[in-house]
Amino acid sequence: MQFFLDTGMIDEIKQALDWGILDGVTTNPSLIAKTGRPFMEVVKEILKLVDGPVSVETVANDAKGMVEQGKRLAELGDNVVVKIPMTPEGIKAVQELESEGIPTNVTLVFSPVQALIAGKAGASFVSPFVGRLDDVSNDGMKIVRDIVQIFNNYEIDTQIIVASVRHPMHVLEAALIGADICTMPFDVMKKLFHHPLTDRGIELFLKDWEKVPQRPF
Ligand code: G3P
């Protein structure tokens, strides 16, 4: 499973790149707003750092506007993925952009049939929001399971990005289900490394190392 960061923060992206486990980045208008920096400046900086797919969201309501914005965004780099909301106008825009070789990521997906529509439209990626479903007492991961099954049934190539991830259990479940990608906040990625028994084990080994005679280092 690929690991993406869901962020607009450059220092977080640099840290994940340094760990060597970053496959791509997803952004949205809220995440860019959190940086407090100009939109284009942030996007260009992310694209300079990351070789993998970088999803950048359109903010128009009609297909024409989404396609126009998508084309402008795609000019910024070969790895730009245009994020399009799951609406009828969005699906029209997906088909037009994909037919011109511009990859799209259908976002704000909350049901398996919405993902099926995105797949039928030829979207490169689809983003089910698991955390926001959990927030309203729905089982977010259930829709990921259903989407995987539907895409397998019909040999749909659209890659599934599990989004709106809140904790490491979401990452584990996404991997067990076989989702292609999990996009997560930096805080969740950091937590994936940790286990109290690992910390305790390191502490013990280092303590015992001090008792070893003639240590070479
Ligand atoms: O980028 C889309 C998605 O991951 C947003 O997550 O935490 O705002 O529900 P969240």
Interval 64-96: pLDDT, tens: 999 999 999 999 999 999 999 999 999 999 999
Which domains are seen in the chain, by residue range?
Answer: 2-209 (3.20.20.70)
Q: What confidence tens digit (pLDDT) does each residue in 33-69 have?
A: 999 999 999 999 999 999 999 999 999 999 999 999 9
Task: Name the active-site residue from 83, 120, 190, 207.
Answer: 83
pTM of the model: 0.96
Query: Do residues 117 and 97 lie in contact, with contact meaning Cβ atoms separated by under 8 Å?
Result: no
Please name every residue paired with 81 in a beta bridge, in sequence order, or none if there are none. 55
For the CA of 31, the closest atom of ligand 1 is 1
Cβ–ligand 1 distance for 6 under 6 Å, the answer yes
pLDDT of residue 3: 98
The amino acid at residue 109 is: V
How many CA atoms lie within 13 Å of 149's alpha carbon, on the beta-carbon side? 8
| CA distance readout (Å), 194 to 7, 71, 200, 214 | 21, 41, 11, 32
**Amino acid letter for position 21:** I
| pLDDT tens by residue, 116-152 | 999 999 999 999 999 999 999 999 999 999 999 999 9
Whole-number Å distance, alpha carbon 185 to ligand 1 midpoint, is: 8
Q: How many CB atoms lie within 10 A of CB 160?
A: 26
- Please confirm, yes or no, whether 83 is among the known catalytic residues: yes
Answer whether 125 contacts ligand 1 (Cβ < 6 A).
no
Contact in structure between 195 and 161 (CB atoms under 8 Å): no
